[in-house]
Amino acid sequence: MTFESNLPILAIVFPFASAFIIGLLGKRLLNLKRAVAVLATLVSLLCIIFLYEPIVGRGEIATYWMGNWAAKDVKDFWAIGIGLEVDGLGWFVGLIIGVTVFLSSIYSIRYMEKDNGLDKYYTLFLLLAGSMMGFVLTGDLFNMYVMLEIMTFAAVVLTSFRNGLYKSIEAGFKYIVIGSVGSSFILLGTVLLYAETHTLNLAQIAAVLQGKPYSAVTILALALMLTGYAVKAFLVPCHTWPPDAHMAAPSSISMLLSGVMSKTGVYALIRILYIIFKSTGRTEMQLLIIFWGTITMVLGVTMAMIQTDFKRLLAFSSVSQIGYIFVALGVGLSDRSNVAVLGTMGGLYHMLNHAMFKCLLFLCAGAVLYRTGTTDLTKLGGLSKKMPFTTALFLIGTAAISGIPPFNGFVSKWLIYQSTYEAGFAPITVLALLCSVMTFASLVKVGQSVFFGEATVECDKVKEVPWTMKIPMVILALVCIIGGIAYNAVSKYLIQPAANAIYNIGNYIDVMFKEGYAEEMIKEKIIIPDMTAEYAGYWKPEAWLALFFVLLIGAIVVLSINIRSAKKKTINIVDGLDMKFDSFTGGEVDEHAPIGGQDLFWGIRHQLKLYFDGIYKAHSGLVNDYVLWVVTCLAVVTIYLFAVI
C-alpha cells in the first residue's frame, strides 16, 4: 500500500533552502544563522517523525514524484522522473540522520564559536544534512549518486574547515582523492546498470533483473558498486581516509562523518545486495560479505589500540564497528530464514547503536578539545576532576560501544554473536567477542590518559563545557541506556519495520507502478520475530542496571575512603622535598609522565610484534598507496564475483 506525501521532499528541501538563505546573509547576523541551522534540522527531523504512523504503524510506503512525473504502468511506461520512495528501511536511516544532525546543530552553537568563517560552516553543514537525507529517501539510483556527490563535497570542505592546520589540508586532500575514486566506481556501476535495464529507478531495476541470470555487465556493475560504496562505508582496505578526516574535522562534523555518514554507505550496500541484486540465499555472496566484514572488524580495532590521538582512535574504532554491521548483514544473506533475520536485525540494531554511542564519544572528544585545545593522549590527564560531567558520559559511551550490559551495544552485539554462531561461523563469533574486548581496552587507554591519569599543569584551569554542548551529549547517553533496557520497544517500533522492508520487497516494487509486477518476489512472506524470544530467561535489563549502579556506588565509596585516608597522612618535608618519593625519584623534580597507549598495552604489542608493526607500516599515509589499495580491492572483488557467479 502506498500514499503520496510531501513530507519526504520537505525533509530534504528545508536544509538545502536554509543553506542558500545563510549563504545570502554573508558574514552578518551570526546568531540568526545558528537559529536557521537549528530550525532547519528540526523541521527535517519532524518531517521524518510525522511519517512514522503511515510507514511504521500501517506498513505503507510514502512516495513523491518530482515534477509529477509518475510512472503509471511499468509495462507501458518507464520511470523517467525522479521518485522519492520511503519504506521502513529508508525511514529508519532517515530518523538516525535527522536526530544526529539536529543534535550536532545544537552542539555547534558554542563549540564553533571560536572559529571564523561560520557563514560557510553553516552553509556546508546544511548541505551535508540535506544530501544525507536525500540519499536515503530517494528511489532513484542516479539521484543517490547526485546526493552522494553533494555529501562528499560538503564533507571534504568541512574536513578542511580549520585550514590553518596542516593536518586539515592533508586530510581534505586524502578524502577528495580517495572519495573521488569511490564515486567514479559508483557512477560507472550506475551507467552499466542503466545500459542493462534502461531505467534508474531502484524498484524498476529490481523488477527487471528479477529471475534473470547475472550477465557480465551486471556482475561488473555489482563489483564496481560494492567497492565504491565500501569507500563510503569505511570497509577495509578502503578505510584509510576516515582516520585523518575525523581527526581533522570539527567534532560536530566528526560525529556525523563517523556515526552517520558511514551509514549511508551501509544503506546503499543493503539496497544493492538485498533489493537490486537479490543476493539472499546466495552462499558465495554471503561468504564474501562476512569475510569482508571480519577483516574490517579485526583490523579496525587493532589499529585503534595503537593510536595516541583521541579522535583518530575513535575513527579506527568506527571502522571496526562497521565491520560488525557488515558481518551481521552477511549472515542476513543466509538461505536459512530464521538465522538470516536474526543477523539482519543485529546489523540494523548495531547501525542505530553505533550512531548513538559513537556520536556521544566524538562529542566527548570535542568537549576535551574545546577546553584543552588538544586531543593528544600524551598531553592530557586528570580531567575527571575538572570535567566530571564529560567523564561520566564518556564512561557510558565506552560501556555501550564495548557491549557491556545494560547498554545498547550489548543487545546488538549479542544478536551478532548469536547469529554468527547459529549460522555456523563460530570462529567469527570468537573474533567478534575478542574485538569487543579490544575495543574496551583501547578506550580504557583513553580513560587512563585523558580523564584518570596524572594531571598536567596545563589542565589546572580547565572547566566543564557549556550547557548547549551538554544537552546533545546527555540525549545520546540516555539513548544508549534506553536502547539496552527497552530493547523490545526499540525492536518493535524501529528495527522490525526496517527488517521487514529489507526482506519483503514486493511492496516496494509494486507501489511505484500500481501493477502486480512483484508477484514472484512475494511467494513467501518473511515474518520478522519479536526479539523477546531471543532473550527469554537470560537478558533481564533491570537486573543488570541494578547491578551496574551497585558496583558504581561501591566504587565511589571505596574511592571516597581512600581520598579521606590520604588527606589524614602527614608528609615530612625536608628542604622542600617530599621524603616518600626520595627512593623512587632520587630527589629529582617531578615531571608529567602519563601512561600512554604504547606503554599500557606494551605486552600485547610485543607478543604480536610482527602483526602490529606490519599494519602500522602498511598505513604509510601516502595517498598513492591508499588509492592503489582501493583499485586492488576492486580487482579482487571483480575476479571473485566472475569466478563464483
Do residues 484 and 417 lie in contact, with contact meaning Cβ atoms separated by under 8 Å? no
How high is the pLDDT of residue 521?
47
How high is the pLDDT of residue 532?
43
pLDDT by residue (tens digit) across 459-502?
777 888 999 999 999 999 999 999 999 888 898 899 998 998 88
User: Which range (52-56, 134-138, 159-163, 327-331) has the least confidence?
Assistant: 159-163
Give the CA-trace dihedral at 385, 386, 390, 393, to 10 degrees.
Answer: 10
How high is the pLDDT of residue 508?
62
Separation of alpha carbons 258 and 242, rounded Å = 8
Q: Grid coordinates 518530482 are at which residue? A: 66
How high is the pLDDT of residue 311?
92
**pLDDT surpasses 60 at 611:** yes
**pLDDT surpasses 90 at 23:** no
Task: Give how far the C-alpha of residue 502 lies from the chain's centroid of Cα atoms, to the nearest Å.
Answer: 19
Q: Residue 518 in 3-state DSSP? A: coil
**pLDDT surpasses 70 at 241:** yes
How high is the pLDDT of residue 315?
92
Separation of alpha carbons 97 and 205, rounded Å = 26
**pLDDT surpasses 60 at 85:** yes
Q: Which one is predicted more confidently, 402 or 611?
A: 402
Q: Residue 84 in 3-state DSSP? A: strand
What would the grid cell of residue 290 be? 562476512
Do residues 216 and 635 lie in contact, with contact meaning Cβ atoms separated by under 8 Å? no
Do residues 156 and 175 lie in contact, with contact meaning Cβ atoms separated by under 8 Å? yes
User: Which range (108-117, 190-199, 522-531, 563-572) has the least confidence?
Assistant: 563-572
Separation of alpha carbons 122 and 18, rounded Å = 9
Q: Which one is predicted more confidently, 122 or 572?
A: 122
How high is the pLDDT of residue 569?
46
How high is the pLDDT of residue 73?
53
pLDDT by residue (tens digit) across 544-601?
555 556 655 665 665 555 545 544 444 444 444 444 444 444 445 555 555 554 556 6
User: Which range (100-114, 569-583, 586-600, 625-639) has the least confidence?
Assistant: 569-583
Do residues 491 and 530 lie in contact, with contact meaning Cβ atoms separated by under 8 Å? yes
For the residues 126-155, what does the mean pLDDT come to?
Answer: 93
Average pLDDT of the chain? 83
pLDDT band (50, 70, 90) for residue 1: low
What percentage of the chain carries pLDDT values higher than 70?
Answer: 82
The backbone region for 424, taken as left when phi is positive above 0, alpha when psi lies in -120 to 50, beta otherwise, is left
Quick one: DSSP state of residue 56?
I
How high is the pLDDT of residue 155?
92
pLDDT by residue (tens digit) across 510-551?
555 545 544 444 444 555 555 544 443 334 555 555 555 665
Q: How many residues does the chain have?
A: 645
Do residues 34 and 108 lie in contact, with contact meaning Cβ atoms separated by under 8 Å? yes
Residue whose C-alpha is closest to residue 165's, from 355, 375, 381, 427: 375
Do residues 22 and 37 lie in contact, with contact meaning Cβ atoms separated by under 8 Å? yes
**pLDDT surpasses 90 at 177:** yes
Alpha helices in 447-510 (DSSP H): 467-485, 487-490, 496-503, 506-510
**H or E stretch at 574:** strand 573-574
**pLDDT surpasses 80 at 189:** yes
Pairing assessment for the beta strands 2-4 and 61-65 based on DSSP bridges: parallel
DSSP assignment of 443-455: HHHHIIIIIISPP
For the residues 253-277, what does the mean pLDDT come to?
Answer: 91
Q: Rounded to two decimals, what is the model's pTM?
A: 0.87
**H or E stretch at 214:** none
Distances (CA, A) of 439 to 305, 327, 338, 402: 8, 17, 29, 6
How high is the pLDDT of residue 165?
75
Alpha helices in 271-423 (DSSP H): 283-305, 310-331, 337-372, 383-386, 388-401, 408-422
For the residues 406-420, what does the mean pLDDT come to?
Answer: 91
pLDDT by residue (tens digit) across 431-467?
999 999 999 988 988 888 888 877 776 677 788 899 9
What would the grid cell of residue 76 be? 507501458
